[in-house]
Structure 1
Amino acid sequence: MRSLVMIATLVRFLLLLWCLLVSATASAQAPQLVQVGDWHVYGADYDYDREPLVAGGAAIRVAPRAAPGEPWSSAATVAIPAAIKSGMRVTGYVWARSAQPAHIAVTIQGGGPRYDAVATATLSLVSEWKLYAISGIASADLPAESQSLTVQLGATSTIVSVGPAALQLGERDDPAVRRAFAGFRPSQIAQDVRFASDPGVVLAGVLRLPNRASAARSPVVVLLGGGGPARRGIYPLLEKRLLADGIATLSYDKRGIGRSTGSFVDTLELMEKDAIAAVAFLRAQPGVDGSRIALLGLSQGGVVGPAVAAGDPAIAAVVLLAAPVGEKHAPFLDGMRTRLGEMNLSNDSIATILPAAGRFMEAQRPGTAPATLAAARQSLIEAFTAAGIPPASASGFADFLKHPVLASMYQAAPGNVLPRVRAPVLALYGRADTVVPSTGNLDQARIALRANPDATVIEVPRMEHGFQSVALDALGKPNHVGPPISDPGVLDLVARWLRERLRP
């Protein structure tokens, strides 16, 4: 009997020891630190600051909205990279302060449509730097990247500075987090930059440099957005990957957008001028190796990059994604042919409209007699109406084609530019892209680059125009999600290719 009691006691002891070990294992999970450059800010203007009084020595200073709105209308947010198990505690830590006392909401929660929250808290910020914490327990299994730590700033009327953060899964361990912050050295240094282009045009952006222990200068990639009012930071996952490989990045707001001055006129000629100004600015920076500058662009940016490199033999590499290729006028007319087909116009009607459109675009060039321009416009309207388009709509189409951006696209000749690029070139096209179809463009890119000894042209399966990650919805249908250039395979391909070409 006594031996049975001893055995039972031993079993209870072992069970208790096992529970303690499990608890210790959970609480021993190291906190993951989030550097300032990993915050994504939306809905408000912000600057990067050097802050010697906060861990890591850097912070983001977020300006209040012109008119305070809902708390979530502007925010600083960062995704939680790990999967979270049901019943697991999740704790977020963030360094913050405000110019004036402020109460702000902080959440750990998922995205739409449900916005399920693991934790919510209201922080009372003051002018001194403080480390704040928010903690909660997951009620269900949550996939990696599905939850974010978010500092909501839309309702505040004062400047809020946000420093580094930490994420911890398992039992909360404040001392371990403070020890981690005490030895924190961020892997990148983000700094706001401004550089001049045309008279009256100053471009604003962010230069991110690897935080090297040595004084070695870094190679850098200029990131060029597609058509439209592109802002800095549109390729966040690509920037993160390049910086991890020791490659700096520069992204900037297009002229007239965000904090860049001037008027937003999205012509290829002006975008090329601005990219040339970006390269000149980088060559004057002490932390940048001016002999190892690469250009990367998506869509319109994939036309701008090669044009800059064709005129600058010192460019080290060019990456173009979903970039239209063709001789002068061809990309514009090919795109117009696709759009007319989507309007269910007959092939005969399209064959009549396209030449009329070409004559009208040519007639818009400087020096054309007004009577010639008027006759070309009328001919185009008649071609549209003959295809069954109402006269008012036909006149609207003609007026739309007078836009300077379309005139710039019509004159573009990327197929004539690519043969003049002497730098290594990587050209990617998405098989599922309906904006710049791989059919035609893929072969034309190969032909244009056939004399380049280091040119690679690849068609990527499943990819659409933005080269985003592919996830299956509830019906098993592929859904493209995330920021542009976020597909893991594409990220790996681009990063490895650039790393090899930008070696010292």
Structure 2
Amino acid sequence: MCIRRLVKIHLLVLPWLLAGLLAAPLGSQTAVPNTAPAESETWFGTLDADLRHFRFALELQREAGGPWAGELLSLDEGERRFPLAQLVRTDEHLNFEIAASGARFEGQVDASAQRVSGTWRQRNAELELAFERVASLPDEEPLALWTGQINAVIQKLDVAFRQLKNGEWRFDSLSQKAGGFVATHQREGQQITLEVPALQAKFSGTLHAESNEIVGKWQQNFISLDLTLHESQSNRSKMPQPHRPQTPQPPFPYAVREVEFANPQAGIRLSGTLTQPEVAEPVPALVLISGSGPQDRNETIADHQPFWVLADHFTRRGIAVLRFDDRGVGGSQGAQESATSLDFANDVRAAVRFLREQPGIDPERIGLCGHSEGAAIGSLVAVDDSRIALLIMMAGAGVSGERILMSQSKLVLQAADVPAEEIERQSQMQRILIDLAKQQPLPSVEEYTRQAVQALAPLLSDEEKSTARGEAMIRASAAQLTSPWFQFFLAYDPSTTLERLRCPVLVLVGEKDLQVDPELNLPPITAALERAGSADHRVERLPNLNHLFQNCRTGGLTEYQELEETIHPPVLKLMTDWILAQVN
């Protein structure tokens, strides 16, 4: 499983994780060429989404007599920049879209030409938004800024509370590039309380004036974690950009095309990037298949972009690569919420059909490379398509999702040095929630929540029982566990598909993978491939590598962000050599 789905799953047993609660970013980050425009404008506005406020800056430019172009700078999403599409800038109107997310703004310019008032539309929401024309971004130095780090077991989260000049407070999860959450502040003597309603979270601590710090607890649903806030003198609450040396940099010695292709069965179009060697003869090609949870075409996680690294490496060695945004993500249409692995397999089939029609691609030398859940999706496609040339399974499972969940939660908590008795309690809670989700007929979310609250009661402390936050999180878990994707995931045994494969298969699993444990998964994978009767399969258990194939120390999930390496280079070579041996 990929980390995004794992984070969501751990809401069942670690419901304090911020990642499962934060709103999705507007879209994938793409740089706009930095040219010297003949004319430029800067507009600034704040989108009030009730419990979260987004500060936006529009930077527009055009050459003399040319069309307007520009980008949106989202200050509360780690200062990400998003290209503006369908941009209209006239004396009366300012309209644009962000293609990566489907967001759309339509505004009217007032008589002074200094203000635009309009409507922001995104994901069935319509919100009022106004921009003011400015010479430069406003100085927003906070009156107070307190920063600290939450050790959230699977991730260390740098956070900040800042007081605005109007006295209001905001909370920022700096590590996750998610900020602007409305916060409330109360003080009684030296006792400080800061609450973040959108995250159902509260920080309570004691101010130590001599050291300029507040020592206390971060409470979110069932869990209480130590947090010390330090007063910061900086006027910026942002994280430095992490170093990711393997992220590809131009110029590229191959063709790069932004493409779209249709999945007529679902009635959607999917958006991706095709990288292709510029040679005379037709080349082999790969489709990259992402893991679970909403993923962009680069499978971006913790500022790593592993699919971009794979695509660049393979294409430089003569292999074309198609990577695409999951349905409902980035530039791809469709809905994630109602889709299962079977639906995602149909998206991959559409990608394969598209590749077979492309000039310069050998239609008989197209393979699949899937990571985590993507490995299972790849096998579902390959088993029904005899023309698939090969399948690479990166950190793929060999057992049902139910067994994966019970395994990974225990391993992740052990790696984080959580006490054994707490691990056992969390495992019991997860077992209860999963068993309730296996009922037939499946209960409604409300009925599931009622049953779960009752079943979990013996495992909860009096404090946990008394908070409404706990029930709210159980309800969120109920919606997740009763979803189509989760129902399929819990029951599906990938070995039943693997044993019917006929194409060459390369299986790669990191020895320190805590999400797809090699001890649990490699034996059934190997046995299934042997039953398939194909001698052309290779299974590699790679030492010191985690779920992302980074060279790691423990395999703990906090290392995903801490490690600069995106994919261990010997893994890239192993994959390339194997692919070329198969297709040549």
TM-score, with length taken from structure 2: 0.50
Root-mean-square deviation over aligned CA pairs:
3.9
Q: Quote the Cα distance in structure 1 between the aligned partners of 2:513 and 2:385.
A: 30
Matching residue's letter, 1:430? G
Q: CA deviation at 1:493?
A: 0.6
Q: Quote the Cα distance in structure 2 between the aligned partners of 1:411 and 1:64.
A: 47
Q: Quote the Cα distance in structure 2 between the aligned partners of 1:411 and 1:421.
A: 20
- Say which structure is richer in helix: 1
Aligned partner (choices 251, 266, 275) of residue 208 of structure 1:
275
Q: CA deviation at 1:222?
A: 0.4
Which residue number in structure 1 is paired with residue 369 of structure 2?
296
Q: CA deviation at 1:313?
A: 2.3
Aligned partner (choices 457, 460, 472) of residue 539 of structure 2:
457
- Checking the alignment, whether the CA contact within 8 Å between 2:411 and 2:514 is kept in structure 1 is no
- Checking the alignment, whether the CA contact within 8 Å between 2:400 and 2:491 is kept in structure 1 is no
Which residue number in structure 1 is paired with residue 395 of structure 2?
322
Which residue number in structure 2 is paired with residue 357 of structure 1?
433
Moved more, 489-498 or 289-298: 289-298
Matching residue's letter, 1:458? E
Q: CA deviation at 1:447?
A: 1.8
Pair 1:66 & 2:72 matched: yes
Which residue number in structure 2 is paired with residue 6 of structure 1?
none
Correspondence list, 1:443-454, <5 A: 443-451=523-531, 452-454=534-536
Q: CA deviation at 1:276?
A: 1.4
Which residue number in structure 1 is paired with residue 9 of structure 2?
none
Query: CA distance change for structure 1 residues 149 and 397 in 2, over 3 Å: closer, same or farther?
Result: closer
Aligned-partner SS, 2:563: strand
Q: How many residues align?
A: 337
**CA deviation digits over 1:230-274, x for unaligned, max 9?**
222342332222123211100011111111122233632322121
TM-score, with length taken from structure 1: 0.58
Moved more, 221-230 or 327-336: 327-336
Q: Quote the Cα distance in structure 2 between the aligned partners of 1:316 and 1:242.
A: 16
Matching residue's letter, 2:360? G
Q: Quote the Cα distance in structure 2 between the aligned partners of 1:381 and 1:196.
A: 44
Pair 1:190 & 2:256 matched: yes
Which residue number in structure 2 is paired with residue 59 of structure 1?
none
**CA deviation digits over 1:342-389, x for unaligned, max 9?**
6855687567545543442223x6x5576xx87765443333222226
Aligned-partner SS, 1:449: helix
Query: CA distance change for structure 1 residues 402 and 245 in 2, over 3 Å: closer, same or farther?
Result: same
Q: CA deviation at 1:322?
A: 1.2
Q: Quote the Cα distance in structure 2 between the aligned partners of 1:190 and 1:502.
A: 22
- Checking the alignment, whether the CA contact within 8 Å between 2:546 and 2:552 is kept in structure 1 is no
Moved more, 288-297 or 393-402: 393-402
Aligned partner (choices 539, 545, 565) of residue 482 of structure 1:
565
Query: CA distance change for structure 1 residues 349 and 73 in 2, over 3 Å: closer, same or farther?
Result: closer
Structure 1 segments (4+ residues) deviating >6 Å: 68-72, 144-150
- Checking the alignment, whether the CA contact within 8 Å between 1:352 and 1:383 is kept in structure 2 is no
Aligned-partner SS, 2:521: helix
Query: CA distance change for structure 1 residues 377 and 336 in 2, over 3 Å: closer, same or farther?
Result: farther
Matching residue's letter, 1:251? R
Pair 1:222 & 2:287 matched: yes
Which residue number in structure 2 is paired with residue 496 of structure 1?
577
Correspondence list, 1:198-347, <5 A: 198-212=265-279, 214=280, 216-233=281-298, 234=305, 235-265=307-337, 267-327=340-400, 329-335=402-408, 345=421
Correspondence list, 1:26-175, <5 A: 43-44=29-30, 64-67=70-73, 73-74=80-81
Q: Quote the Cα distance in structure 1 between the aligned partners of 2:320 and 2:508.
A: 22
Q: CA deviation at 1:285?
A: 1.9
Unmatched segments (≥5 aa) in structure 1? 1-40, 48-61, 77-143, 151-163, 166-185
- Checking the alignment, whether the CA contact within 8 Å between 1:195 and 1:277 is kept in structure 2 is yes
Aligned-partner SS, 1:64: strand
Q: Quote the Cα distance in structure 2 between the aligned partners of 1:147 and 1:424.
A: 28
Q: CA deviation at 1:73?
A: 4.7
Unmatched segments (≥5 aa) in structure 2? 1-26, 34-67, 84-242, 299-304
Q: Quote the Cα distance in structure 1 between the aligned partners of 2:540 and 2:455.
A: 38
Matching residue's letter, 1:65? E
Sequence identity (%) = 25
- Checking the alignment, whether the CA contact within 8 Å between 1:272 and 1:308 is kept in structure 2 is yes
Higher CA-based Rg: 1
- Checking the alignment, whether the CA contact within 8 Å between 1:325 and 1:445 is kept in structure 2 is yes
Q: Quote the Cα distance in structure 1 between the aligned partners of 2:29 and 2:392.
A: 30
Pair 1:437 & 2:503 matched: no
Aligned-partner SS, 1:194: strand
Q: CA deviation at 1:436?
A: 1.7
Q: Quote the Cα distance in structure 1 between the aligned partners of 2:246 and 2:495.
A: 44
**CA deviation digits over 1:441-496, x for unaligned, max 9?**
12222122223311211111111111135699xxxx9963233xx21110111111
